[in-house]
Structure 1
């Protein structure tokens, strides 16, 4: 896709994050199954439901803006999902693996925060007011998830991982 205008860039980046969310929706169940800590597994399941809602929100944005997404694969998310898969396959269920999974999940959240922040700004400049609101809603969800993961890691998982040796 040739990107010549801000609208082209908006469509490209929205297509990219759509791919990212789809990939994440396939990875989160694996991360939940791999977690030793039941609360962490539940947090991944909760985030899966949120991710599904974010995909639906992107579909709504496409309708509102009367655009068509491009069929692209988000290479960044592909790499982040691969890191999570490596963390899963490199050891048994343990607090250390849970700490690694949280780290992987936070890398994903930071990528999504950057993506949705950029998209919300583009939407605003393009006059896609309702789309900008929806993108900001997703941005706030991503920030909240990142914060929850930080609290969870610092209050429980990292301490358990440290105690494990």
Structure 2
């Protein structure tokens, strides 16, 4: 399909992010259930609920554009999920698997932050207004917060000592 204008590009990217958020509800649920670190499990569960709200906000953006909500595959997310699942199948140590989940979460949050930055920039160029920009900015702020929480977990004493145990001297 050929894209001919900025509006089409915006809708395409919005549909990809809608797909990402919907898929991540399930992925976050999986990681919350499988991690053995209580803080991490709770963090993934909390972000799963935020992600459900983010899906609703994206539906509001589609409505503001007078378009039905549409999901389009995201090869970036599919690649991240494929990598996580491949590592899960090769790792038996629970603590090492927790590190896989932490890393997967951080990588995904970075991708989401970048996607929302791009959508916001396109929305500004198109002068789409607050009905579009505000929900996108809210989602972006939540993604930044989730990333900061994962960074905090990565440097937490219990994970730092684990990281040191798993790193060869």
TM-score for the superposition, normalised by structure 2: 0.90
The aligned counterpart of 1:3 is 3
1:15 maps onto 2:29 in alignment: no
User: In 2, Cα distance between the equivalents of 1:114 and 1:157?
Assistant: 27
Q: Is the 8 A contact 1:120 1:133 kept in 2?
A: no
Give distance in 2, aligned partners of 1:159 and 1:87: 22
* Distance change in 2, residues 1:7/1:59 (3 Å): same
Which residue does the alignment assign to 2:140?
139
Alpha carbons of structure 1 residues 41 and 93: separation in structure 2 relative to 1, 3 Å: farther
Alignment RMSD (CA, Å)? 1.6
**Which structure 1 segments of 5+ residues have no match?**
none
C-alpha deviation, 1:157, in angstroms: 1.8
Secondary structure of the residue aligned to 1:73 is: coil
The residue number in structure 1 matching 2:61 is: 61
User: 8 Å contact 2:18–2:71 — kept in the other structure?
Assistant: no
Which 5+ residue runs of structure 2 have no aligned equivalent?
Answer: none
Give the corresponding residue for 1:162: 164
Secondary structure, aligned partner of 2:4: coil
- Aligned pair count reads 165
Determine the structure 1 residue equivalent to 2:128.
128
Consecutive aligned runs of 4 or more in structure 1 exceeding 6 Å deviation: none
SS at match of 2:119: helix
